Structure 1
Amino acid sequence: MRDWMAEARQVHADAVVLDMHADTPQRFVDEGWAFTEKDLRGGHLSLPTALTGGLDGEFFAAWVEPHEWAGQYAERTRALIDGVHAQASVGAMRVCVTAQEVLDAKAAGQFAALIGIEGGHSIEGRLELLEEFYARGVRYMTLTWSNTNEWADSSGDVARHGGLTELGGDVVRTMNRLGMIVDVSHVSDATFWDVMKVAEGPVIASHSSARALTKAPRNLTDEMMRAIAESGGIVGINFFPAFIDEGWRAAWNALKPERIQRHKDVAQAFRERGEAIPFHISDGVDREFTAKIGRAPFRSLINHFLHALEIVGSEHVGIGTDFDGIPEPPEGIDSAADLPKVTAALLEARVSAEEMKKILGGNLLRVMDATGR
């Protein structure tokens, strides 16, 4: 009987393994938590878990909660970016801006820290902020989060623009000029198709799964996946149960009124003090409600990988865990240490080792090479 886990660990050792999206920077800034700590303190990603799971690098997302940080988007973005650089300063990891630097970090035994921005509201409608953030090491931007911003509609909000505005087109063109990867996770369908008309070179969805399997508006249709593949880009499969399991999504949505009230109750003390609500506080509320539903099946996650592979092939699929930005991954995935389980399941499903090396990180290195300046 084949030992799929042993084979998976060998594939990880031979590959450059990169996750396309984690929200860990807010932990650095708000919780004073160090990436090198052994105690995850409720998180999903740390240097020890990355080493155990054979994860060589991470795109750390600078995500600014749009309501809590209204009027301070750029300032908060700077703080999150600085938080990644501060973690790298201790030497266990290095900030990388090119594919070659990622390879050099792995060769030196260092974790590769890559930086993305999640939500175009971070640039406050100012193209010069793209230049600044690029200079600080940002190499992708997710055009929207769950909020519609000044120049692009989100899948999680009311559409105000009918897609991408003229300024939005300028944002995409500026990103292309700089060498910053365009990320369409979270955008509305109309925004997606407008982006595909404007963008040059590879477009990614850093953390989105398949709408054919789970009907979340955040997920991609097969047609969208094909368009991303035609651009030379990547679909990074998200691990959040509401995006990978239709039954779990329905249960989560049914609890929405109760969740909203609980969030309001928890927020009251912070509101009275005029303080932003830290993510780990609101995340704690969501964890209370995920516990009521239970874990999503591990197989649901694997099915999304297999569906994407069927639609666009191994050259255009990646990993976009959304670690530290979701309350609970599916069963069997407690942290980055468990990533070889995904590889083992895909190997057992007859995805080859060479195909896995592309999925695990080779595709992202290719896109970075194609986009970088």
Structure 2
Amino acid sequence: MPLTRKHRIIIGSIVAILACILAIGITIGVVAGRRKSTPLTIQEQVNQILANNPLIDGHNDWAWLIRANFQNRINDLDLFNMTQYQLKNTTPSHTDITRLRKGQVGGQFWSIYTGCEHQGKDATVSFMEQIDVMKRLIAKHPDIFQMATTANEVRQAFSSKHIASLFGIEGGQAIESSFSILRLFYQMGVRYMTLTHNCNTPWADQNKVDHNDSVLIKNNGLTEFGKRVIAEMNRLGMLVDLSHVARKTMLDVFNITRSPVIFSHSSAYTVCNHTRNVQDDILELVKINQGIVMVTFVPGFIVCSDTNRGTIDDVAAHINHIRNIVGIEGVGLGADYDGIQKTPVGLEDVSKFPKLIEYLLSQGNWTHDDIIKLIGGNILRVMEKNEQIAQELQKTMKPEENLISINELEIYNLTQCRNLDMYPTIVTNATS
């Protein structure tokens, strides 16, 4: 049947419409192609990395700040905006939920800490109070925080858009030289212990014994009891943290540990020769041990100055130095926010982590894979290795039951507040 004029008009209109649709599609495709080929800015790259990989900081003292300023009262504390509060040291808090989210923090080792003055008195009680306040803080905002005790739990928390919250005891005085307390802390969720703070325990030396003018009592590193502590931590799967300890203590640990160790908040001694930092020969041992040094932002450890705050560039110098010796697998981040008053310029609080990553990417010698390892991949690897070794050790090792000797406690004058009823009675008169 021949097409009528009406049919030809209809067909022509359909063809015209299809041509328009095709043209629009081609235009959209060209524009999309152009957009796809446009390189992402460094800031966009960082946002993309942090959106898909957890940034895990090794050390934050928010719990200590809450204890020192608010006596652990958090029921009415606005955890979204801590800058509104006047604090005792006049320095605004570095941490709150708003800035944690802005900094795209995916996981945090919360420091469980109280001062050395508690040792031999109420150290265990005070550390338990700090665990309690952090557990209550997590429970207060379950939409923000999620407790994590394993590498897989960290990943799960991150995938559900929570901040994975881990605990690290800062100072071996917390366990009062008791394996029982060490194990109970592990059951409460503690996953690393810094062997000392800025005081010796009866079984381990801290970094200040390495000062040239030191007159401190020395254990000469780890005592035999201290070596047993390391073995029990390996058996449990609790990370051994060597920040704060003396050089000899570090060497003793490397000689006996079966698991990778961490430095939760230390930097490079060659860049700043502070005893809290890690010397190059120790970095070589970290490499062999497959451990990790989590670089801190403390100005005194970054630029060796009480007045100069340092900059992002100075922090990066420590990261790069450690990377050059240990390798990319052995470096991480351990800022020490809220444990310090001054911070480097550009790294003022927890919201600034992305700025450091932007700086490293801008240098041209850091790949995306490198950054992923630095911000969290490395510490997750160390955690997994500790978990794996602990499972193997528990097949053959029994829980440690030895007591520290009374003599070791007496050297540090730590028997006054102990009943000592666990120790056998010393018989002085066999006929009585």
The bucket for the TM-score relative to the shorter chain is 0.7 to 0.9
Task: Name the CA shift for 1:162/1:19 in 2 (closer, same or farther; >3 Å).
Answer: same
User: Larger C-alpha radius of gyration, 1 or 2?
Assistant: 2
Question: Does the 8 A contact of 1:29 with 1:79 survive in 2?
Answer: no
1:105 maps to 157
- The number of aligned residues is 329
Contact 1:28/1:35, CA 8 A, preserved across alignment: no
**Which of 53, 57, 68 is the equivalent residue of 1:15?**
53
Return closer, same or farther for 1:176/1:44 CA change in 2, 3 Å cut-off.
Answer: same
The 8 Å contact of residues 25 and 80 in structure 1, kept in 2 or not, is answered as yes
Task: Spell out the pairing of 1:210-249 with structure 2 (5 A cutoff).
Answer: 210-246=268-304, 248=305
Secondary structure, counterpart of 1:227 in structure 2: helix
Displacement of 1:298: 2.5
Task: Find 1:44's aligned residue among 78, 94, 102.
Answer: 94
Q: Letter of the aligned partner of 2:60 in structure 1?
A: A
Partner of 1:312: 326
- What does 1:1-373 align with in structure 2 at a 5 Å threshold? 3-30=41-68, 31=70, 32-33=73-74, 34=77, 36-40=79-83, 41=85, 42-67=92-117, 71-90=121-140, 91=142, 92-157=144-209, 158-246=216-304, 248=305, 252=306, 293-349=307-363, 350-372=365-387, 373=391
CA 1:21–1:161: 2 relative to 1, 3 Å: same
1:153 shift after superposition = 0.4
Alpha-carbon distance, 1:108 to partner = 1.4
What is the aligned partner in structure 2 of residue 283 from structure 1?
Answer: none
CA separation of 1:35/1:151 partners in 2, compared to 1, >3 Å: closer, same or farther? farther
Distance 1:27 1:113 in 2: 17
The Cα of 1:363 is off from its aligned counterpart by 0.8
**Displacement of 1:4:** 2.4
CA-atom RMSD, angstroms? 1.6
* Greater alpha carbon shift after TM alignment, 135-144 vs 222-231: 222-231
> 2-side partners of 1:199 and 1:57: how far apart?
26
Closer/same/farther in 2, CA of residues 148 and 99 from structure 1, 3 Å limit: same
Find the aligned partners of 1:105 and 1:172 in 2 and give their Cα distance: 29
Q: Percent identity, please.
A: 32
SS in 1 for 2:207: coil
2-structure distance, mates of 1:183, 1:366: 15
Stretches of structure 2 lacking an aligned partner (at least 5 in a row):
1-38, 86-91, 210-215, 392-432
CA distance in 2, matches of 1:130, 1:63: 15
- Segment drifting more, 151-160 vs 179-188: 151-160
Q: CA deviation at 1:14?
A: 2.1
**Structure 2 equivalent of residue 265 of structure 1:** none
Q: Deviations over 1:29-77 (max 9, x none)?
A: 4423558322334111222111111111110111120125650100001
- C-alpha separation between the residues in 1 aligned to 2:260 and 2:350? 27
The CA distance in 1 between the partners of 2:96 and 2:378, in whole Å, is: 23
Q: What is the CA-CA distance between 1:188 and the residue it aligns to? A: 0.4
Per-residue deviation at 1:107?
Answer: 1.4
Aligned counterparts of 1:344 and 1:196: Cα–Cα separation in 2: 34
**How many Å separate the matches in 1 of 2:119 and 2:254?**
30
Distance 2:41 2:57 in 1: 24
AA paired with 1:184?
L
* Contiguous gaps of at least 5 residues in structure 1: 253-292
AA aligned to 1:17 is: L
For the Cα contact (< 8 Å) 2:311–2:347, is it kept in 1?
Answer: no
Query: Are the equivalent residues in 2 in contact too, given 1:35–1:47 (CA < 8 A)?
Result: no
- CA displacement 1:91-137 (0-9 Å, x = unmatched): 12111101111111111121111001001011111111111100000
Structure 1 residues 233 and 35 mapped into 2: Cα distance closer, same or farther (>3 Å)? farther
Which residue number corresponds to residue 276 of structure 1? none
Partner of 1:280: none
Cα gap change, 1:168/1:193 in structure 2, threshold over 3 Å: closer, same or farther?
same
Q: Deviations over 1:266-308 (max 9, x none)?
A: xxxxxxxxxxxxxxxxxxxxxxxxxxx2532331111111111
Distance of 2:78 and 2:241 partners within structure 1: 25
